[in-house]
Amino acid sequence: MLRCRFIKVIVLIIETVCVTVIRTEGQFSKCFPKNGEVKTRLVCPDGEVIYNPKILVGVSLNRGCNYRHGDCLGSTISLERQVMACHWKRDCIIRISANDNMIQSLDSNANCTSVSPDYFLLRQPYCIPRGMVIDVCKSSPSTIRTNSGVLCSHSQYPYKINPKSRSCSTTIPIALSHTLMMSFEDVQKDSLRFINVWTSLNGTERLLDISKLKTVNFTKRETDKIRIHVNYPSTDTKVAGFIIPFSAYQTDSVQELMKWPKTSIPMIREFGWIKQNRIFDVCGSNETLISGWGVIRSHPSYPWHFSDTIWRCQRNIKIGKNKSLLLRIQDINLDPEQRDKLRLVHVVNGKKTLVADTKNIAEYEQFVIREGYVKIRFTPSRKTKAGRGFIIVFRRFESNAEDYRALTTKRKNTNNLTIDKRAIWQCSLREAYIIWKMHIKNGTRYVEFSTNSCTNSCISTTHHEFLIQ
């Protein structure tokens, strides 16, 4: 889905002890306490609503507390109902119980049903301005001029409705030198039969098959506009709906788009054409990268399949003091049996932390890492059924050091502790809080979140930062 696009501020309150397990990609998991009950509260700022909350329960393969690849992830009847009711609300409380059996798993694994969960998992929560939620059949005018928003089939989503018979369309134009990103991950299968997405170029429309698509990027060179057409059936049966988040952002300059210089080569979808000196290979050089942005590819002949003669390549990207690095997996296609190994390791002050590896890296995955440097290590297998490799886009940006110091300073156990005018930390016995905070610097939006757990003997703080395009 589209990550880190619409978040402003969100506060999550979990009534347990010392929550410090946070994953950089925006999710965390924790075992249930002894009483098997957890109460979670999502709170958005005034004028904003909760968007598509993702709260799950899991059964661990090793009976651990953290999500690992291969675990059973799913929901219970009670949790599913509560999460559905949280959509489009400003404030929502969810009670999760380890005594409720799982009724479904994300991968439809029958072995995961009718079992008690070991832990709960929260995917990165989102708050969006209420005005960014656009009902396709009630939008006026029918052409959308905003850079980002969420198209929804009806205001009661995710509940099914009886729409009766009606037809409506909404159009999103694409500006020159911009890329429009749309996510179709939350289009329910039942709704595919009455929604059509058309791309248009020079007046010619083409129907886009979204049944197997997740996230798609559109550029002005290939698409003038996108038209979403809904044709609800004439039936008394209730039908499912959809939500389609979209975001437009500037990529290349007009000059680069129009001239297409000989020193450029056709490359990834996000950029279209980029200069050769912005492309770096993992295999072929061990020079540390200090560029502000660029593209890292697995091997020089990408997208042609890499050779099994490649053996253990590594490239480092410097982040630097008071700076953060955004890594985006633009394309990845390695050995289908995971013989090839790709690891992203964050190194700061000599401490190494695994950010992601082959098992949990997916296309369009996005990571933000602060200070130090990142190792990208690629080790193809001698028995590889070679794929085309991978493409990683990276960008460095300034972090707000003053805010970072304020957020990571340990304080005494105090109720309603004020750090600054924009962030209020609330501490009380046996309660743990996650504080979500947005700030803007030089026109760029950042989201920071920290955990602060307060008990009689424990105060701990963990900090992460996200870039919003």
pLDDT at 262 over 70: no
Kindly indicate the confidence band of residue 110, based on its pLDDT and cuts at 50, 70 and 90. Answer: low
pTM above 0.75, yes or no: no
pLDDT, the chain, mean: 69
Pairwise CA distance, residues 90 & 80, whole Å: 18
Q: Tell me where in the chain the CATH 2.60.120.290 domain(s) lie.
A: 136-250, 260-397
Between CA 316 and CA 329 the distance in angstroms is 16
Rounded alpha-carbon distances, angstroms, from residue 76 to 99, 126, 187: 10, 22, 21
Residue 425 confidence (pLDDT) above 60: no
Higher-pLDDT residue of 100, 20: 100
- List all residues 6 or more positions away from 73 whose beta carbon is below 8 Å from its beta carbon: 56, 57, 58, 67, 105, 106, 107, 112, 121
User: How confident is the model at residue 239, as a pLDDT?
Assistant: 80
Superfamily of the domain at 136-250 = Spermadhesin, CUB domain (2.60.120.290)
Asked if residue 445 has pLDDT above 50, the reply is: no
Q: Which CATH architecture has domain 260-397?
A: Sandwich (2.60)
Task: Output the pLDDT for position 308.
Answer: 60
Reply yes or no on whether the pLDDT at 373 is more than 70: yes
Q: Where is pLDDT greater, at 382 or 371? A: 371
Q: How confident is the model at residue 163 (pLDDT cuts 50, 70, 90)?
A: confident
pLDDT at residue 450, rounded to an integer? 42
pLDDT of residue 125: 65
State yes or no: pLDDT of 115 exceeds 80: yes
Tell me the mean pLDDT in the region 115-121: 85
| pLDDT interval class at 82 (50, 70, 90) | very high
Rounded to an integer, what distance in angstroms lies between the CA atom of residue 97 and that of residue 101? 9
Whole-number pLDDT of residue 271:
42
pLDDT band at 464 (very low <50, low <70, confident <90, very high): very low
Per-residue pLDDT band for 133 (boundaries 50, 70, 90) equals confident
Q: Between 161 and 258, whose confidence is greater? A: 161
Q: Are 125 and 31 in contact (CB under 8 A)?
A: no
* pLDDT for 58 beyond 90: no
Cα(295)–Cα(329) distance, rounded to whole angstroms?
10
How far, in Å, CA of 352 to CA of 9, rounded? 30
**Mean pLDDT, to the nearest integer, of 305-333?**
80
